[in-house]
Amino acid sequence: MFAYIIRRVLYAIPILIGVNLLTFALFFVVNSPEDMARMHLGEKRVTEQAIEKWKQNRGYDKPLLYNVQAEGVQVLTDTIFFTKSVRLFVLDFGSADDGRNIGQDILQRMWPSLAIAIPVFIVGLLVNITFALLLAFFRATYIDIWGVIGCVILMSISTLFYIIGGQYLIGKTLQLVPISGYDFGLNSFKFLVLPVLVGIIGGIGAGTRWYRTIFLEEINRDYVRTARAKGLSELRVLFRHVLKNAMIPILTGAVVVIPLLFMGSLLTESFFAIPGLGAYTIEAIQAQDFAIVRAMVFLGSVMYIVGLVLTDISYTLVDPRIRLN
């Protein structure tokens, strides 16, 4: 088991290197730091000095890959590639355009993100499984058919509509909770209700339909027929046998998402003014702060790969048929 995990982690390293090279190419090769400086400072009539100063402040005044002027190891280390891209591997994200330390910011902002993402994830999973079981129980009846059509309708509505509609209906018309904002500690509860609710409702359509197909796939298996032949009631079959076996694809599918939870949701956080990582990313994109975007791209792929590794491990844990090789 341990060797297996080690192997999986080692396998992730070339992927991270690839991500790193790709982001480096996107941010520094497609557009030179010169171009970035020009755009930041206004396109026309920028003096050379201003550009140089801009680059120097951010450490972009070095050569891209190979520093001819430096000596020894510094030939490779005193370059943009090393200081900006390779340093990401040790989670050194550098500083943002306003001089703040990105690593510090991320540590601070991940908590509000988690405060929304975790309830949405857990409650959403439960709600979706419940609905899917219901549809599977009533399969091939009008309840099932209309349930699926309802799911398609829910899926066809833009996330933006859920958020704006929720804010308008609950926050503004009914005035049950504040429209947006955030507070730390227990006070945060009233700010979190609405975003969590919106997150759950927004995911019902796709989630329920997806789990329903998983259940239906299990329901047609031989062991289910055997269980029915034994004389078990439909409910018992559904809960004791189908649900248990369907949990394998459901759980392993859910594990992938867990590490990504803390990246936060871009839309929800920015609409509800929650100071999480999602809002952080959006602000960076809108302010065109390349350092933060680069850090988040890297962090996101690290989390995705962690999710993949966790999935593989959880497969072997829940499904004894899968061997470790």
Partner 1 sequence: MRAMIQLHRQFWFWPLLLIAGLWLALLALPPLAGVKAVYLDTDKLIFLLVSGVLLLAGYIRSREHLRGPWRHIFRQRRAMIALVVLLFFIVCGLLDSVHFRKPLPSQGVTQQRYSVKVLSLLDILLDDMRRNVEKTYSAPLATHLFAKETVTLENGDVERRYVRLKYGGRDLTDPASQKWPNIRDLATRGVVVGAIIWLVLSAGLTAIFARHQRQPVAVMAKRVYRGDTDIPWRSIYLSLLLMLILLAVLLTLSTEYHVLGTDKVGQDVLYQSIKSIRTGLVIGTLTTLVMLPFAIVLGVMAGYFRSWVDDVIQYLYTTLSSIPGVLLIAAAILSIQVYIANHPALFETALDRADLRLLALCVILGITSWTTLCRLLRGETLKLREMEYIQAATALGVGQFTILGRHVLPNVMHIVLIIVVLDFSSLVLAEAVLSYIGVGVDPSTLSWGNMINGARLELARDPVVWWSLVAAFCLMFSLVLAANLFADAVRDAFDPRLREQG
Q: Does 267 bind partner 1 (CB under 8 A)?
A: yes
For tokens 């298996």, the residue is 221
Q: What is the rounded distance in angstroms from the CA atom of residue 253 to the CA atom of residue 255?
A: 6
Question: Any contact of residue 55 with partner 1 (CB under 8 A)?
Answer: no
Binder of partner 1 out of 23, 85, 208, 245 (CB under 8 A): 23
Identified binder of partner 1 from the candidate list 251, 300, 309, 316, rule CB under 8 A: 300
Interaction between residue 294 and partner 1 (CB under 8 A): yes
CA gap 47, 309 in Å, rounded:
50
- Residues 213-252 close enough to bind partner 1 by CB under 8 A: 213
Measured CA to CA in angstroms, residue 143 lies from 56, 81, 157, 200, 235 at distances of 65, 58, 21, 22, 17
Please pick, from the candidates 76, 293, 310, 313, the single residue that binds partner 1 as defined by CB under 8 A. Answer: 293
The two tokens of residue 281 are: 């990313």
Contacts of 155 (CB under 8 A, 6+ apart): 205, 206, 209
Exposure class string for 184-200: b at 16+ Cβ within 10 A, else e: eeeebeebbebbbbbbb
DSSP code at position 170? I
Residues 124-163 that bind partner 1 (CB under 8 A): 152-153, 155-161
Instruction: Give, for 150, the enclosing helix (H) or strand (E).
Output: helix 142-156
Told to check if 285 binds partner 1 by CB under 8 A, we report: yes
Contact with partner 1 (CB under 8 A) among 30, 73, 90, 186: 30
Give the binding range for partner 1 (CB under 8 A) out of 58-66, 181-189, 234-242, 281-289: 281-289
Q: Which residues contact partner 1 by CB under 8 A?
A: 14-15, 18-19, 22-23, 26-27, 30-31, 35-36, 38-39, 43, 152-153, 155-161, 164, 167-168, 172, 209-210, 213, 260, 263, 266-267, 270, 281-282, 285-286, 288, 290, 293-294, 296-297, 300-301, 304-305, 308
